[in-house]
Amino acid sequence: MRALIQRVTEAYVIIGEQRHAEVGEGLVILVGITAEDTEQDALWLVRKILQMRLFTDDEGKMNKSILDVQGKLLVVSQFTLYASTKKGNRPSFINAAKPARAVPLYEFFLKACKDLVETRSGVFGADMKVSLVNDGPVTIWLDSKHRE
């Protein structure tokens, strides 16, 4: 699994003409899933994200986690994180898991997040507009297969 994490002061998802989900201070997590991913990959990502010190302390150093600041998560499925651009100019998404495999793992990831921190989400497979104010900016890339 891959995750692109952005520290935000606010973020929201619009589906159609409706604001579907929103958060204030917290993290936007774009999640990509490949066919080889497992629940262990999801749990590793959740633990890493929730423990990662991305928020500043009183001295201005990034020493606090999302749990420490009682922030919120906005999770959005993003199959394009598995784009391959080796050939030509049109990305290939062959490495992204098909919905039959990806949806249950995405829902598992969401539940694992919701069990520990207030979490909002987009809708898997929907055409979404994601708006955010990246704070810092702080943007972190995680890959469960490389454990980084």
Active site residues: 80
Neighbouring residues of 144: CB distance < 8 A, sequence distance ≥ 6 = 1, 2, 37, 41, 42, 44, 45
Distances (CA, A) of 40 to 44, 65, 68, 139: 6, 21, 24, 23
CA distance 62 to 79: 29
